[in-house]
Amino acid sequence: MHKIEIEAGVDILALNKKIAKENRQFFKENNIKAVNIMGAIGSGKTLLIEKTVEKLKDKIKFGAILGDVVGNADLKRVLKYGIPAEVINTGKECHLDAHLVSHCLDKFKNVDILFIENVGNLICPVDFDLGETLRVVMVSVTEGDDVVEKHPEIFRLADVIIINKVALADAVGANIDKMISDARKLNPKAKIIKMDLKKDIGLEEWFKIVEDLVNQG
């Protein structure tokens, strides 16, 4: 039996933490509130950004960083609203990290809220602080009502948990109360919003969170 020794020359998480701290300082100096939106593909992250910008763009200056493995479809959607936006294609990586985000920041010095849409999954983004002010996790009832209990860490660290597509719950046999209960057990402090972006359910609660975030100064 052969013994294989592997030396890791760089502590990736420690390096990420250092750059995240620098990003956080940038946000503080420029009075920017950065919102890291995490969730699986199809959970509604891009549509949430679109609806928020459309409603509040006369009050708040928005910017957006869209993370994706490949492509710029989400970028095209957001640019239609006339806000500064950048896409970050991660290639084989399943998450954004602080270093990737840092390369885009100079473009957003004059915004109040910077949305950072993370790559679509519920596992990889958990360990990578981006320097954000607020961590948001989106799931939809179409992912199954056991999605929260299957991905505990991302919900444990969230500031806001959005359960989207609630109007479809009966159709897909999802128990929304179970999803909320699972989230509460993991994270008693998080704000939980029942939402349906297609039906405009729960949006006013979300808009208030965004406005309050800006008004914190």
Read off the pLDDT of each residue in 175-186 and give the average, rounded to a whole number.
98
CATH superfamily to which 12-215 belongs: P-loop containing nucleotide triphosphate hydrolases (3.40.50.300)
Query: Does the structure show a pLDDT above 60 at 181?
Result: yes
| pTM for the whole structure | 0.93
Q: Are the CB atoms for 102 and 18 separated by under 8 Å? A: no
User: What contacts 212, CB < 8 A, 6 or more positions away?
Assistant: none
Classify burial at 213, counting beta carbons within 10 Å of its beta carbon; exposed 0-12, middle 13-18, buried 19 or more.
middle
Q: What is the pLDDT of residue 93?
A: 86
For residue 122, give both structure tokens: 């519920």
Strand partners, 191: 160
